[in-house]
Amino acid sequence: MRTEVAVVGGGPAGLIAARELASKGVQVKVFEEHPEIGTPNHCAGILSVEGLKRIGVELDLKFLRHEINGGTAFAPDGTGIRITGSRTRAYIVDRAIFDRHLAETARDAGAEIERNHRILDFIYEDGRVAGIRGDLDVEASMVIDAEGASGVLARKAGLPRPGGGVLAGINANVTDAQLEPGMVEVWFGEGLADGLFAWAVPAGEDEARCGLATGKGDALELLRGFIKNRFGLTEFGEPARWPVLTGGPVDKTHGDGLLLVGDVAGHTKPTTGGGVILGGMCAMMAAETAIQALEEEDYSAGFLGRYDERWREALGGEFSSMLGMRRFLNSLPDPRMNRIFASVKSAGLEATLETFIDEGDMDLQSGVLRKALTHPGMLRVMASSLGRLALGELNSLFNL
Ligand SMILES: Cc1cc2nc3c(=O)[nH]c(=O)nc-3n(C[C@H](O)[C@H](O)[C@H](O)COP(=O)(O)OP(=O)(O)OC[C@H]3O[C@@H](n4cnc5c(N)ncnc54)[C@H](O)[C@@H]3O)c2cc1C
């Protein structure tokens, strides 16, 4: 069997790349190991309104579950900072249905989607990737690897897999759990979710989707404790576990005949671990490079390196700002985090933060981070909570 482009993995990144290629008349086949697209679903499903537009997804009631216009962040000692926006900022989507919708759009554009096919390796020809090998061999001019966080095939091809910042993620639905409509909650704490946070988002009437990602401890036990403390409940639905990536992009996302997209490329937001939007945006850039390569009949690493250059130019600064913020947050012991929350409240800066977040971009966060970190009031909070030395380090992380 032969195709112009073979895509490994029927998650958002692979399906978006396939949609873009097929819509330009490229012959593309997607190979997904599971019998059904979208299942198992590991995701909290928070996707920004702007982000959905950026990845070319029209809103559809099939997958939209809740509108989100704000949230409350809780310090380890329980101090909450509540931010409400003037508009809908994000949606909670049902990721299983969302992914199936992406598959339908890709199919409608002309892509073929083969389920129940686990790809075991690439086919190599003269040292370059020239197809995929599973229970059937498929030759291809090029392969797009969208296998997700595991990075098994990428590593076999000699490319780096996501390294630092790989956290144990877990999610479960909790019934009889009330949340304020339109609001999400994030909870910080080294003993709760070291390296990220725990979350509770609306999942239905009197139902919440609770989860966390952590670099330390048993994620299931931590989730159990979180649900008990937050809702006083001990029962919850079947938990889904999967890695959450906060370490930023891998060093190289292309090889001879090969492009990496989505989680396998480390294209997630280091501040939150969310990867659908940035992964999807980079997948669209990968598809553009693949189309140029097909036109030029040049699948060499030299040519495909245009993809690396392209996403780094568009999003490299975003990834590094968010990585700077992640490193800063990871460096804060709980008492310091508590002090920052308390100082923001006592300095009356909640409304200022609310304006920044209301005007800021949920996915391209460098602007809002820079604004917050150069605001005189916020600088005073940081200086009083962190001391001059740590403030200096923070400034150098952001080149302020
Ligand atoms: C707990 C948790 C909560 C999250 N919450 C959010 C959120 O709220 N918002 C957000 O934007 N992101 C969130 N994310 C991150 C998001 O889920 C990922 O960034 C996104 O799914 C990455 O898309 P992808 O297509 O790269 O990979 P995936 O979605 O992982 O898809 C990869 C696909 O490839 C298939 N596959 C893998 N290997 C093979 C193989 N060898 N052969 C064939 N098929 C293969 C897999 O079965 C899978 O279907 C969350 C992640 C976790 C773990």
Report which residue type is found at 230.
R
Query: Which of 29, 31, 36, 43 for a ligand 1 pocket mutation test, highest count of atoms within 8 Å of Cβ?
Result: 43
For the CA of 13, the closest atom of ligand 1 is 25
Query: Is residue 382 exposed (0-12), middle (13-18) or buried (19+ Cβ within 10 Å)?
Result: buried
Q: Which residue has the tokens 């209301």?
A: 358
Question: How far, in Å, from the CA of 11 to the mean position of ligand 1?
Answer: 6
Are the beta carbons of 180 and 41 closer than 8 angstroms? no
Query: Which of 113, 136, 147, 167 for a ligand 1 pocket mutation test, highest count of atoms within 8 Å of Cβ?
Result: 147
Which pLDDT score is estimated for 399?
A: 63
Low pLDDT (below 70) residues in the chain: 388-391, 397-400
Question: Using only C-alpha atoms, what is the Rg of the chain?
Answer: 21
Question: How far, in Å, from the CA of 304 to the mean position of ligand 1?
Answer: 24
Beta bridge partners of 138: 132
Taking alpha carbons only, the member of 185, 186, 189 closest to residue 334 is 189
Question: How far, in Å, from the CA of 120 to the mean position of ligand 1?
Answer: 18
3-state secondary structure of 375: coil
Name residues contacting ligand 1 (CB within 6 A). Answer: 8-14, 31-34, 42-47, 118-119, 146-148, 153, 169, 171, 211, 242, 244, 262-263, 268, 273-277, 279
Phi and psi, residue 238, nearest 5°:
-55, 120
Which pLDDT score is estimated for 389?
A: 65
Which pLDDT score is estimated for 339?
A: 92
Torsion of CA 122, 22, 113, 282, to 10 degrees: 60
Contacts with 211 (C-beta within 8 Å, 6 or more apart), sequence order:
44, 169, 170, 171, 172, 198, 199, 223
Question: How far, in Å, from the CA of 15 to the mean position of ligand 1?
Answer: 11
Q: Would you give the distance in Å from CA 193 to the centre of its chain?
A: 17
Question: How far, in Å, from the CA of 356 to the mean position of ligand 1?
Answer: 30
Question: How far, in Å, from the CA of 306 to the mean position of ligand 1?
Answer: 25
Residue nearest atom 18 in ligand 1 by C-alpha distance: 275
Which pLDDT score is estimated for 358?
A: 82
Cα–Cα distance for residue pair 79/58, rounded to 1 Å: 37
Which pLDDT score is estimated for 398?
A: 66
Which pLDDT score is estimated for 375?
A: 85
Report which residue type is found at 352.
T
Cα–Cα distance for residue pair 379/373, rounded to 1 Å: 6
For the CA of 14, the closest atom of ligand 1 is 25
Contacts with 139 (C-beta within 8 Å, 6 or more apart), sequence order:
1, 2, 3, 123, 130, 131
Question: How far, in Å, from the CA of 138 to the mean position of ligand 1?
Answer: 23
pTM here? 0.96
Which pLDDT score is estimated for 244?
A: 98
- Structural domains for the chain: 2-45+94-164+248-315 (3.50.50.60), 166-245 (3.30.9.10), 323-397 (no CATH)
Are the beta carbons of 307 and 253 closer than 8 angstroms? yes
Residue-wise DSSP of 169-199: EEEEEEET----TTEEEEE--HHHHTTS-EE
The predicted-structure confidence for 216-259, as pLDDT tens digits, reads as follows 999 999 999 999 999 999 999 999 999 999 999 999 999 999 99
